[in-house]
Structure 1
Amino acid sequence: MTQKDAPTGADATIPGKLPATGHQGRQEPAAMTSTPTTTRTSTRAPLAAHGTGRVPPRSGAVLAGLCAAVLALSGCGGQKGGSPAAGSVPDGWGTLATSGVSVSYPKAGSGSGGYTVQTAGERSKYNAAAAERTEHGVTVSLITIQLGFTRADTAEDAAIAAEAGIQLGSTIRSTRKVKLAGTGDARRIDFEFGSTGEDRTPPKGTRIEGVILTGLDSKDRTFAVRVDARKGTLPDADLKRIVDSIEVH
């Protein structure tokens, strides 16, 4: 969940080493419509932020067909096209800040488990920022930010690329439209996959839940905030606070 060079394809596991990109979550909007649960069979490399390669842009024709499968959900927060409060940072939390987006996290020692920021030398070269939570030397959760992981004109296109980056064998639970502080048009992808048990990750087969928040920043550059956590490790309340803290610049 933390290496500089993460494995690709089915060899990736938690963030930082995750092949594509992934993160997890649950959100509660007014009207919710999401894509049905599906298991990936694609061999595309996962999102660079958590893993390795860059995800190439797709042709308009392909995007048109795939976009039809992305159902919308009205979330909360945001600025463009909405009037939500800016990303809120809970007391005692730290913040991963980049030029395109920022996200907050519970600091290590701040209660029931927390995260420690990875240095540039510790995190994957594709991550602009990252923080990990460890237990007995094993990475049980990872929060990462990736910028410019693909070329896209819309949040929907960015989500399609992000989905293509999620490791082989992952189960995509839903993809839906949400609002974040700073943008009224973002996408949230919830998924789950099995750990490979390699490189300081949980034992092979351990279920990892992930959520990715993706879209375009003020410079029309793609961003992806990803949260991966061993199932049962990250409380729903903390996940919600992490997601609510995201602010797009």
Structure 2
Amino acid sequence: MKELVAHHQLSGQAHELEQVREQRVDGVATDTLGILVRKIVGTFVAAEDACFSLSDAKSIAPDALAFGYRISLTMSAVDHAQTVADLNDLVALRNRLVHHFIDQFDLWCTDGCAAAQAHLNECYACIDGHIERLRRWAHDMEKTRALLAEAMQAPEFADFIVNGRGPDGTIQWAMAGIVGALREATTALAIRGWTRLDDAVAFIVEKYPDQTPRKYDCRSWGHVLSESRMFELQYRTNADDSRVAWFREREANTANHRTT
């Protein structure tokens, strides 16, 4: 039960996932069976019409590369209600055995001991059934996690996460690495909210040399700004009549980026 609660979901910044996982394991180390059942119902054991959210997502910084997953066993409303009832019965059985068993039987006589032994055998059969079901759930969860890990090793997955490019070639610009690099450049170089494009390009070439317009099927950095629709671009005239490109993130995108 602790394995299921600790490992069926995980979310956080990419570089902190292992730490988050360890915290989840530590977080259930001293939980009672009743607490574990409450945690697993509605998350891992869920009705088919349940609405899911990642519980750790609220702690993720808006500018961070983050990842999350949830593995759930969904079932019909009737089956879900029966499963929840079965789990609650298990908790009640555990509590009776731990807290009240000694009061139920006269262990100072042969008949009382025989009755107690018969009762324990019945409880064992019930508990054994629960354990077998939990083992099946844990096996299915681990199999799903292994398949997920295998999928994450695929180059297409890395390309989507890092560059925002889907398997069909479409680009999710809000996730694109080049957009993230441009945002970082504006944070470091902006003057009264605007950043000189040449300075941003130099910043990105030095820090993220693999993030180039060509990777996103763009002819130039200006083309990236236009295609992404994440930035405003304006040209300013210098004293020598040369034109210099400046850009800033669109206000609507900035607000969405901060609250996502």
Task: Give TM class, smaller chain.
Answer: under 0.3
Please, what TM-score do these two structures have when normalized by structure 2? 0.21
Please, what TM-score do these two structures have when normalized by structure 1? 0.22
More strand as a share of residues:
1
More helix as a share of residues:
2
